[in-house]
Amino acid sequence: MPGECHDDHCITCGDVAEPMRVLRIDSERELALCADGVGSRHTVEIALVQPVAVDDELLVHAGTAIA
């Protein structure tokens, strides 16, 4: 859910990144639908890690895949 922090800390305020799996890709807008470790779905910017394929594991910080 947007705005919700997981675990016991705010993963965005900390320099923490979360592994997520790619479910679907919108190539034109450079966005992907990704699932985190507990299955929650997030819209993720993928411009910095192209090319991306479905089932790839991404490291996501502040809604952006950084690796």
Complete DSSP assignment for 8-40:
TS-TTTTT--EEEEEEEEETTTTEEEEE-TTS-
Query: 49: phi > 0 → left, psi -120 to 50 → alpha, else beta; which?
Result: alpha
Least distance (Å) from other proteins to the CB of residue 44?
8
Q: Is 17 in the site for other proteins (CB under 8 A)?
A: yes
Q: Is 62 in the site for other proteins (CB under 8 A)?
A: yes
List binders of other proteins among 20-59 (CB under 8 A). 37, 42-43, 45, 47-50, 57, 59
Q: Which residues bind other proteins (CB under 8 A)?
A: 1-5, 8-10, 12-17, 19, 37, 42-43, 45, 47-50, 57, 59, 61-64, 66-67
